[in-house]
Every structure is written in C-alpha cells, then in structure tokens.
C-alpha cells in the first residue's frame, strides 16, 4: 500500500490505517481508504476494466451483527457475511456449524442504485446492507487490478474472497482497493457492507433537506492497469497562457520513467521523465491553435500520458477562470452565471440516484436548452463523475460542493478529517473538468469560532490542491428586524477568505414579506468581490393553480416570486450570477404537507416527472435576456 504521495499533505491529518489485516477484526477497525493511502485512479472511467454493475445478492443487517458482536467485540462467525464458504453445504456436513445468513441464496437487486427503490419494504431503510456477487478472473493475469467504487453512501467495508480490503467513509466520492494479490484464477467473490446511517459526526450529519439514498449509488468496476501506471494526472491552462501538466506514477518502475504527454488535436507531444518519487511536472506555452472551452463552444481534446506500458487518457477542455474585483472572468472576459441548483436525482416518479449518461443529459439539457443557462450548482455534495463529464460535453459551468451542511460537529477531529478527505477526493477526481469552476466548502453554516476554523482548513486545502479555481461557500446573512423593507447584511468573517460570496435567500417564502416588497430589498455585502445568489425559491405543486389569491404552493405564486426576486437581483450591483433552488422537485423526508409535498421538496421548476411549471418560463425568459447582455 502506498503511504506517501506528492500531494498527500492530508496524510498527517487523516486516520491512515496501520491495523493488521485480520479477519477476526471488527470491520469498523479496518484500514481506511483515503487519498492518503489508497490508489486514486484518476479518470478510471477511461481505463480498461470489468464492469461489476448488474445483479448482486443483498442482505439487510439492521443491528450491525456483521460489524460487531453485541458486546462490541468482533462479529460472530455465524454473522460474517463475507466468509468464502458454501453455507448450506457447510451446515449439512457439520452439524456443529450455524450461520444466520446465506448470501448466495439471499434476494437480488441491481447495482448501481440506492436500495430505497429496490422494494417497497426497503423504501425507508437506513442502516447496513451487505452485497455479494461472483466474477471470473482469467488465469495468467499481468499487471495490477483495483476494485473501484464510484461512490457508496455512506460507509463501506469491502472483502474479496473472504479477506478484508478496507473501509471508506463518505457517500459521494470514489475510492479503490488494490486487489492484485487477492484475486484468484476463475471464480472470485466480492462482498461489501454499506452503512447509510448518518450520525452527529458524519458529513453530512443526520439533519438535512434531502433523501438519504443508501447503497452503492455509482458504478463498481475491476480496473486493470500495467504494473506501473499513471495514478494521478492533471493538465490545465494557466491565466498567462501556458499549459501546466502534472502526473504521478505508481509501481516498481515509477522513478525515472520516460513519459510523453500528447494532445493530438493540438499536434502536441511533450517528452518528460518522472523524478525519484514518480512525479512529473511541466509547463509549456499553449499552442496558438488551442480553442478555449466555454459554454458556447465546449471544445474537448483527447489527452494522453504514456509512461512505460501505461497510457493514461482523458478528454479535457482548456479555459481560465479568475476573479477580478467584483467580476468573474471566464477566458479573461466577464461572465454572468445563469444557473440553477440541482440534487443528484434522476427524473422519474421513483428515483434511486442512478445517474446514467442519459439521465445526466436529460437534467442538464433542461438547463442548457430549456432555461438558456450556462451554469449549474451541483448541490449539496459531489455528484457522479457522469454528471461532470456531461457538463463538460454540454457546456455548463459547475459549482461543486462537499456536504458540510447546516450543523456538522465542528470541534470533532474525525469529522474534519472526513470532510477534508471527501474534499480532496472530489477535487482530485474532477481537476480535469473544464466545467468545474467553483469549489464550495459549506452550505448555510452558523458563524462561530469552531466552524470558522473548520472551514478555513477546508479553504486552505482547496487553495493547495487546486489554486486554479474559485472558492466559495453559501453563507448566512443577518436580517434587520425593524427595517421598512427587507434589509440583509453579510456579517460572516469567512467572506474575506472566499473568492465568490454566495447567499441563499428565501424572503417571501419562509418569511411573511409581500412579494411586492422584494424588489426594494437592501443588501449590505462587501463591494470588492462577486456575489451570487446560490439559492432562492418557492414551492409549487405542478398543476395546482391559484391565479387570484396567489396561494403558496401554487404555480402562480412561484412564478410571481421569481419575477419579484429577479427584479430584486437586478438591483444588486455586485451580483454576478445565480442558481435558484431548484431544477427539479426532489425527495425530502422533512416535507410532509399532505396536499402539496408528501415527502417531496416542491421548489423545482420542473416536477419529479419533468413537467415544467409556470416559473420555468419566467427564468428562461430572464436568462434569454441576460444572455444577450454583455456582462458588466
Ligand atoms: C436551503 C438549503 C436547501 C433546502 C432549501 C429549502 O437553504 O440550502 O438544502 O432544500 O433551503 O428548500 O428550504
């Protein structure tokens, strides 16, 4: 297992496992997969591999009997669902044995996808579910093999052929275990447990405003590489017109390896050599023929890094993003972010967080073509890599976020370590996506010393891992009690640490303000940096109309709320973009009005099945108008 890496400043802060790999060990004491001690496999989706999606056996474990015994000791053998045995045969042959599971004969489901949609009984299940399947590995294998999970929500413990591989914490980012040594010729058995249960110290904690989709929600693959391979790489355009490239090789021949960066579309072939640690870096002038990526022209180039037997591939767009005073500059020119927020939930009556390329295109297509947008806030956690690739392809700028949401355990070192790790996993996964322009570290968090220190640590991590993008966080504002018109002040000390100031505002929805009073709202915000309204919105039940009374939850109320809020937005001098809340109605257990919500947050501009509400056109018309203006 690799222990150090050029970028792995996180190592010191994270719980890197130094535990012996004993099968008797309680699974929650297994080594933790983090960017500090496990393979990254950047752009793994472009590598050769065996798809392990499809049919898996599963078994619920609500009392976590496979995680620990009832006195907290290692679990009983009768509960060890990862054992590589034939349960029926073993019990038939030896009447002293007893197992309270039999994965080979347990019910089946299809992965990826949350278990919540698997059967009606699983709809509200939170806790541990075990999954198992078999696959064949050819004899005479060469090179290395990695078991890679796109994401599993929230904590995962994995086993191969009865042996533990490790654990991972965090529901929205990829992780991988090397299995080169553990694979056997012919049949192999993979077992993993996913625990969806949030606690006061997880990220996010228990209280949110979205459905907690438990399970393996993104693809699982056995990835194959040569013995020495490119584990991490990045190529980007700098603001002074250079191409900057970085790679890290892993394996016996990583040191002093000759390599080549090629971008065929630019007729570029840059030779290089890795250093003693397997790292390589180069900066070269960008060719004149380079076409910059933008929402209007989302040009992507095929990029390869060849090193020894390995060829690392990606499709990368080149653009710059900067802040200058109160402006956001894309490729050196001011831009207004015409966006909307989105949860990771596919369109349909019974979503299971299965983001196929088609599902991603359907959602992003509504933004790009329906709303005439150029920007999406992927809230409130890292979305599938399928989504950010689709944004690259379609031409949408992206705000990418970690689920440091509302109230996390600010003073808990384990919570901070988990947040830092998911932030690093997210950044390292998506540093090559031209679409991603903003890393956000938090949403609506209360100002206090412990929180400020926590978020400053995350901001510092972003600046070190990716100094080329902008940093933000959705901040809370103070409202003056006795003012004649809604008057809000940003009084968050964190503002000074961020490139973009972001505010979520719900005046007129959660407050009794008259909609007609919204345009005159007063915003006291620092004048020296760009402001975005990262959220505003109102619920509407698709098909519920109240044209005269403008009752809340009616389409007319939502449309009028948008008109008035957009009028207000037009009067904020430093406003440089917005991502209203939200593209599509999404599942949220905290929303239980039986007439209108029934477990759905109804602030979507489209319903869960994709019906456009009246407010959709209000925003689409506004964005059409904005797209014709030259931004200030
Ligand atoms: C917010 C939160 C978002 C909620 C939204 C709402 O401020 O950031 O997660 O879903 O308000 O609908 O209240």
Cβ of 209 less than 6 Å from ligand 1: yes
Is residue 9 within 8 Å of 457, Cβ to Cβ? no
Q: Are residues 251 and 216 in the same domain?
A: no
Confidence category of residue 27, pLDDT binned at 50, 70, 90: confident
CATH of the domain at 134: 2.60.120.260
Cβ of 601 less than 6 Å from ligand 1: yes
CA 474 to ligand 1 center in whole angstroms = 11
12 in any annotated domain:
no
Residue 588 Cα: closest atom of ligand 1: 10
Q: Are residues 68 and 127 in the same domain?
A: yes
Counting other chains too, the contacts that 310-313 makes at CB distance below 8 Å and 24 or more residues apart are: 310/225, 310/226, 310/228, 310/229, 310/230, 310/249, 312/42, 312/43, 312/229, 312/230, 312/233, 312/247, 313/43, 313/46, 313/47
Residue 208 Cα: closest atom of ligand 1: 9
Confidence category of residue 582, pLDDT binned at 50, 70, 90: very high
> Domain tally for the chain?
3
Q: Whose CA is nearest to atom 10 of ligand 1?
A: 209
Average pLDDT over residues 140-149: 97
Q: Are residues 418 and 552 in the same domain?
A: yes
- Three-state SS string over 366-386 comes to HHHHHCCCCEEEECCCCCCHH
- How many other β-carbons are positioned within 10 Å of the β-carbon of residue 528? 12
Is residue 474 within 8 Å of 439, Cβ to Cβ? no
Pocket test for ligand 1, best of 340, 504, 538, 585 (most atoms within 8 A of CB): 504
Q: Which of 190, 156, 191 is nearest to 50 (CA)?
A: 190
CA 209 to ligand 1 center in whole angstroms = 6
Q: Are residues 166 and 246 in the same domain?
A: no
Q: Are residues 550 and 572 in the same domain?
A: yes
Q: Whose CA is nearest to atom 3 of ligand 1?
A: 209
Copy the structure tokens of residue 397: 């700028």
Domain boundary among 289, 304, 319: 319
Q: Are residues 492 and 605 in the same domain?
A: yes
Altogether, the residues listed in the chain come to a count of 632
Cβ of 432 less than 6 Å from ligand 1: no
Residue 443 Cα: closest atom of ligand 1: 8
Q: Are residues 376 and 520 in the same domain?
A: yes
Copy the structure tokens of residue 212: 């907690």
Pocket test for ligand 1, best of 378, 540, 581 (most atoms within 8 A of CB): 581
Going by the DSSP 8-state scheme, the letter that residue 70 receives in this structure is: T
Q: Which of 79, 81, 125, 121 is nearest to 105 (CA)?
A: 81
162 in any annotated domain:
yes
Residue 537 Cα: closest atom of ligand 1: 12
Q: Which of 287, 315, 290, 320 is nearest to 303 (CA)?
A: 315
C-alpha of 90 from chain center = 43
Cβ of 504 less than 6 Å from ligand 1: yes
CA 208 to ligand 1 center in whole angstroms = 9
Cβ of 208 less than 6 Å from ligand 1: no
Residue 380 Cα: closest atom of ligand 1: 9
Pocket test for ligand 1, best of 204, 207, 209 (most atoms within 8 A of CB): 209
Is residue 616 within 8 Å of 603, Cβ to Cβ? no
Q: Which of 108, 106, 116, 120 is nearest to 66 (CA)?
A: 106
Q: pTM, whole model, 2 decimals?
A: 0.95
93 in any annotated domain:
yes
pLDDT digits (tens, 9 = 90+) for 274-330: 999 999 999 999 999 999 999 999 999 999 999 999 999 999 999 999 999 999 999
Copy the structure tokens of residue 597: 């919500």
CA 460 to ligand 1 center in whole angstroms = 26
60 in any annotated domain:
yes
CA–CA dist 426, 383 (Å, integer) = 9
Q: Are residues 220 and 252 in the same domain?
A: no
Cβ of 444 less than 6 Å from ligand 1: yes
pLDDT digits (tens, 9 = 90+) for 421-478: 999 999 999 999 999 999 999 999 999 999 999 999 999 999 999 999 999 999 999 9
Is residue 471 within 8 Å of 439, Cβ to Cβ? yes
Q: Which of 268, 317, 112, 309 is nearest to 194 (CA)?
A: 112
pLDDT at 10: 39
Domain boundary among 301, 319, 337: 319
Counting other chains too, the contacts that 599-604 makes at CB distance below 8 Å and 24 or more residues apart are: 601/209, 601/210, 601/539, 602/539, 602/540, 602/541, 602/542, 602/553, 603/537, 603/538, 603/539, 603/540, 603/558
pLDDT at 481: 87
CA 116 to ligand 1 center in whole angstroms = 22
Residue 504 Cα: closest atom of ligand 1: 7
pLDDT at 632: 59
- Strands (DSSP E) found in 344-483: 375-378, 397-401, 436-443, 470-475, 478-479
* Cα three-residue angle 505-406-499, rounded to 5 degrees: 65
pLDDT digits (tens, 9 = 90+) for 52-108: 999 999 999 999 999 999 999 999 999 999 999 999 999 999 999 999 999 999 999
For 581, the domain range is: 326-628
Q: Whose CA is nearest to atom 9 of ligand 1?
A: 209
31 in any annotated domain:
no
11 in any annotated domain:
no
Phi and psi torsions of 415, nearest 5°: -65, -45
Q: What average pLDDT is seen over the chain?
A: 95
Q: Which residues pair with 606 in a beta bridge?
A: 584, 612
Q: Are residues 330 and 315 in the same domain?
A: no
Q: Which of 162, 165, 167 is nearest to 187 (CA)?
A: 162
Q: Are residues 50 and 106 in the same domain?
A: yes
Is residue 243 within 8 Å of 236, Cβ to Cβ? yes
Cβ of 554 less than 6 Å from ligand 1: no
30 in any annotated domain:
no
Task: Give Rg (Cα) of the chain.
Answer: 25
Cβ of 603 less than 6 Å from ligand 1: yes
CATH of the domain at 296: 2.60.40.10
Lookup result for tokens 């949030």 = 198
Q: Whose CA is nearest to atom 13 of ligand 1?
A: 209
3-state secondary structure of 90: helix
Cβ of 535 less than 6 Å from ligand 1: yes
pLDDT at 24: 57
**13, pLDDT greater than 70:** no
Q: Are residues 479 and 563 in the same domain?
A: yes
25 in any annotated domain:
no
Give the pairing type, strands 531-535 and 575-578: parallel
Q: Are residues 503 and 448 in the same domain?
A: yes
**553, pLDDT greater than 80:** yes
Domain boundary among 294, 319, 344: 319
Q: Whose CA is nearest to atom 7 of ligand 1?
A: 504
Positive or negative torsion for Cα 68, 192, 105, 187: negative
pLDDT digits (tens, 9 = 90+) for 393-410: 999 999 999 999 999 999
CATH of the domain at 578: 3.20.20.80
């Amino acid at each position: 297992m690799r222990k150090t890496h050029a970028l792995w400043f996180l190592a010191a802060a994270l719980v890197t496992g130094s535990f012996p790999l004993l099968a008797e060990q309680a699974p929650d004491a297994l080594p933790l997969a983090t960017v500090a001690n496990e393979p990254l496999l950047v752009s793994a989706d472009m590598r050769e591999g065996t798809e392990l999606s499809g049919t898996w056996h599963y078994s619920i474990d609500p009392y976590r009997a496979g995680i620990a015994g009832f006195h907290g000791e290692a679990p009983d053998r009768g509960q060890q669902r990862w054992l590589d045995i034939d349960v029926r045969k073993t019990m038939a042959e030896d009447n002293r044995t007893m197992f309270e599971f039999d994965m080979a004969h347990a019910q089946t489901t299809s992965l990826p996808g949350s278990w919540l949609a698997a059967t009606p009984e699983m709809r509200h299940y939170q806790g541990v579910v075990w999954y198992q399947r078999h696959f064949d590995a050819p004899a005479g294998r060469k090179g290395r093999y990695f078991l890679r999970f796109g994401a599993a929500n929230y904590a995962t413990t994995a086993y191969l052929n009865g042996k533990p591989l490790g654990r991972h914490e965090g529901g929205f980012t990829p992780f991988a275990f090397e299995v080169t040594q553990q694979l056997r010729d012919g049949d192999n058995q993979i077992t993993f447990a996913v625990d969806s249960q949030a606690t006061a110290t997880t990220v996010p904690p228990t209280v949110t405003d979205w459905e907690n989709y438990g399970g393996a929600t993104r693809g699982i693959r056995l990835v194959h590489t040569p013995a020495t391979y490119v584990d991490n790489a990045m190529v980007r355009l700098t603001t002074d017109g250079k191409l900057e490239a970085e790679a890290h090789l892993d394996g016996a021949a990583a040191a002093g390896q000759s390599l080549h960066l090629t971008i065929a579309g630019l007729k570029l072939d840059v030779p290089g050599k890795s250093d003693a640690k397997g790292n390589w870096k180069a900066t070269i002038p960008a060719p004149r023929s380079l076409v910059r990526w933008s929402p209007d022209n989302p040009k992507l180039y095929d990029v390869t890094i060849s090193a020894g037997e390995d060829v690392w591939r990606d499709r990368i767009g080149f653009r710059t993003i900067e802040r200058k005073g109160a402006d956001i500059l894309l490729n050196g020119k001011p831009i207004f972010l015409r966006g909307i927020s989105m949860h990771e939930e596919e369109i349909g009556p019974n979503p299971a967080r299965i983001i196929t390329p088609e599902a991603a295109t359907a959602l992003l297509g509504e933004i790009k073509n329906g709303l005439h947008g150029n920007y999406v806030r992927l809230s409130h956690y890292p979305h599938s890599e399928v989504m950010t690739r689709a944004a690259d392809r379609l031409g949408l700028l992206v705000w990418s976020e970690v689920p440091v949401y509302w109230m996390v355990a600010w003073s808990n070192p384990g919570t901070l370590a988990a947040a830092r790790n998911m932030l690093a996993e997210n950044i390292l996964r998506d540093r090559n996506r031209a679409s991603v322009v903003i890393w956000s570290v938090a949403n609506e968090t209360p100002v206090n010393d412990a929180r400020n220190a926590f978020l400053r640590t995350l901001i510092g991590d972003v600046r070190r891992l990716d100094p080329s993008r902008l940093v933000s966080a959705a901040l809370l504002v103070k409202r003056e009690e006795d003012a004649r018109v809604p008057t809000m002040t940003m009084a968050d000390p964190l503002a000074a640490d961020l490139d973009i100031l972001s505010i979520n505002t719900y005046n007129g929805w959660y407050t009794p303000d008259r909609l007609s009073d919204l345009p005159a709202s007063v915003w006291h915000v620092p004048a020296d940096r760009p402001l975005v309204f990262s959220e505003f919105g109102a619920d509407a039940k698709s098909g519920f109309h109240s044209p005269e009374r403008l009752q809340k939850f009616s389409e007319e109320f939502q449309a009028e709320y948008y008109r008035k809020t957009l009028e207000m937005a037009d009067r904020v001098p430093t406003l440089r973009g917005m991502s209203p809340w939200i593209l599509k109605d999404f599942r949220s257990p905290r929303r239980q009005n039986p007439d209108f919500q029934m477990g759905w947050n109804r602030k979507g501009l489209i319903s869960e099945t994709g019906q456009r509400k009246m407010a959709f056109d209000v925003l689409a018309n506004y964005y059409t108008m904005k797209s014709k203006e030259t931004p200030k």
